[in-house]
Structure 1
Amino acid sequence: MSSRKTCVIIYNPLAGKLKRRGPDRLERARRILTEAGYETTLVPTSGPGDAVALARAWTANGVGLIVAAGGDGTINEVAEGMLHSAVPLGILPAGTANVLATETGMSSNLEAAARDLLTYTPERISVGRLHFNNGAPDTRHFLLMTGVGLDARIIYNLSARLKTNLGKIAYWIAAFSLMGRRLEEFSVTIDDHDYRCSFALVSKVRNYGGDLKIARDTSLFDDQFEVVLFQGHSSLRYLRYFVGVVMNRLQGMQGLHILRAHKLHFSPVLDTRIYVQVDGEYAGHLPGSVEIVSDALTLLLPPLYKRRVELSG
């Protein structure tokens, strides 16, 4: 996997699978990599954003492999600190939804995931870049998806304690609490065409939240997004959309658009705050834009994932 046998595991000690028996599980994973010939160091994060700085520092110091242990948010931060480097990124899934792991077929067991990591192949992939035009201080990148509107509102209002105690069930509780409420709408511009919607999913993965598939014709290897736009200000309308997702009948459904795009612009319709999430974490609010960044990151992936993508393409 790397000519230089040094490795750092950057882990989130508050991740779902690490809060109770995290040190023991990570030590066993570290031992597996050490026995394979890697000089492996465990480094915990101390808070939000810390993984970005840690990954950037270890990359600059010439480490041979960086492994992110945590949920999709932790993986996002580690990847942010590694962009445009040649250092490969490996994953030990330990979060709530583990969308990336589910999408690619990685084991949810940390020890098995560490062993499997030694058989994965380095693949160069594109990522998404989110830029806000409202005075927000930074640009965010994402491996998986960005959501604008409804799902970002759910994430923004989600109690951290509820998420910790209930896991994915917390998202469903938060979603159903919006039933009957009016949803804020916003404008999406793609190739000079304007669309009005209350939820936009801009994705490079088929898996959504670990349980559902909304975007169904995309992959980490794509150099464009699959975009799914849901129209309507009534939250009750989403019951019909939900059935369409479960039954795989979104294509052609009234009030819904499925598109391909390299770049999108978003702006509020009224003087309301429209929230944005990236890889399952709150990122900011509109206006803003999203675009593809090609050849951005080396990710260690199961060979079976690439074969499956090639067969489906």
Structure 2
Amino acid sequence: MAILLILNPISGDIDKSNFLKVLKNKLGKKVNTLNIFKTTGKNDLELLKQHLQEHTYNKVLVAGGDGTVKLAAECLLNTSIPIGVIPLGSANGLATDLELPTTLDASINVALGQNTRKIDALFINGNLCLHMSDLGINAALIKSYERSSVRGKIGYLFAGIPTLLNNKNPQNFSIETNEQKLIRHGIMLGIANSRRYGTGALVNPEGIIDDGYFELLIFKELNIKEIIKTLRDEKSYNSSFLEIISCQQAKICCETPTDFQIDGEYLGKISSVEIKIEQKALNIMI
């Protein structure tokens, strides 16, 4: 068996040396080849695509956060090669949604196991989205986080406080789905292929990552009480806080250019997005 490990050395501000030791001990002589591709933040996608063209693997392991998983997915869409996710990032939303183990030993066991699940993928303005995207406050928070020198959850906290204080103004979103046209007023519009954000917040409780549908989440106001509910896994939301629309394709236009992110990566301010879904596009170890 040949395995490729895609490793983000700085994700989550976590030292990966112990992980590598545990992984190599578990593999022992079970594999013929273990190659390691370390991300650097420079031309990672192009270099990884080239590497995969030159080598053949039975499985690809990903050690990092949502961004590193997305990197692997960009190269393995609609292939039979399974992806084993070891959640070692600041945000591990996809792993959380798939209920993957959080302990190192258990997560490696799942990644090296035999059980797989084919999940859907979204394309937003042509960009791959595996997990969560949004327009508004959360994207602005990610922008602040990326500019900060503090990593991990503390970094999100430091970025979050000023972002929330400075972004309270709602705007109109024009929404066109395969079934309806409507206008909604809110502080943020989420595009959800799964149920949770990387923080674990349950914002799309009825979402299923392989059902051929995605959800639009219209957050109408900044309500701390309701936000706390999402962190407690409570499924009932006040309709004045959140509205959920399930669909298979959509176009959204913003009243003003708005901060935009996909899977934890800030992509600037935009005025509109088009969303399409590709069913069962990726093979993930569970």
Structure 1 CA distance for aligned equivalents of residues 94 and 2 of structure 2: 24
1:264 aligns with 2:254: no
Q: Which secondary structure state, in structure 1, belongs to the residue aligned with residue 108 of structure 2?
A: helix
Partner of 1:310: none
Partner of 2:193: 204
**TM-score when normalising by structure 2:** 0.86
**Per-residue Cα deviation, 1:149-168 (whole angstroms, up to 9, x for no partner):** 1111111122454441xx22
Q: Decide which of 141, 152, 170 is 2:155's aligned counterpart.
A: 170
Structure 2 gaps, min length 5: none
Matched, 1:219 2:208: yes
Partners in 2 of 1:23 and 1:262 — Cα distance? 42
Structure 1 CA distance for aligned equivalents of residues 42 and 252 of structure 2 = 26
In the TM superposition, residue 244 of structure 1 has moved relative to its aligned partner by: 5.0
Q: Equivalent of 2:263, from 276, 279, 296?
A: 279
Report the Cα offset of residue 66 of structure 1. 1.0
Number of the residue aligned with 2:31:
37
List gaps (5 residues or longer) in structure 1. Answer: 132-138, 302-313
SS at match of 1:170: helix
Q: Does the CA contact (< 8 Å) of 2:210 and 2:280 recur in 1? A: no
Note the C-alpha offset of 1:213.
Answer: 0.6
Count of residue pairs the alignment pairs up: 279
Partner of 2:11: 15
Distance 1:238 1:49, change over 3 A: farther
CA deviation string 1:20-60 (max 9, x = no partner): x323422431342343335211121121550x334423443
Question: What are the superposed Cα offsets for residues 270-291 of structure 1, whole Å, 9 maximum, x if unpaired?
Answer: 3xx3121111121343222122
Instruction: Give deviations 1:71-97, integer Å, cap 9, x for gaps.
Output: 111111111111122211111111012
One-letter amino acid of the structure 2 residue matched with residue 6 of structure 1: A
**Structure 2 match to 1:306:** none
- Say if 1:49 and 1:242 are closer, same or farther in 2 by CA, change over 3 A: farther
**Are the aligned partners of 1:33 and 1:115 in contact in 2 as well (CA < 8 Å)?**
no
> Would you say 1:193 and 2:178 are equivalent positions?
no
Question: Counterparts of 1:83 and 1:229 in 2: how far apart (Å)?
Answer: 29
SS at match of 1:253: coil
Alignment check: 8 A CA contact 2:77 2:282 kept: yes
Residues 253/130 of structure 1: CA separation in 2 closer, same or farther (3 Å cut): same
Q: Distance in 2 between matches of 1:7 and 1:36?
A: 10
Name the SS of the counterpart of 1:168 in structure 2. helix
Would you say 1:245 and 2:230 are equivalent positions?
yes
Q: Check conservation: 1:70, 1:93, Cα contact below 8 A.
A: yes
Shift of 1:201: 1.5
CA contact (8 A) 2:124 2:274 kept: yes
Residue identity opposite 1:115 in structure 2: N
Q: Which residue of 2 aligns with 1:308?
A: none
Does the CA-based 8 Å contact 2:6-2:37 persist in structure 1?
A: yes
Identity %: 23
- Which one is further off, 31-40 or 241-250? 241-250
Q: Which secondary structure does the structure 1 equivalent of 2:76 belong to?
A: coil
Which residue is equivalent to 1:158?
145
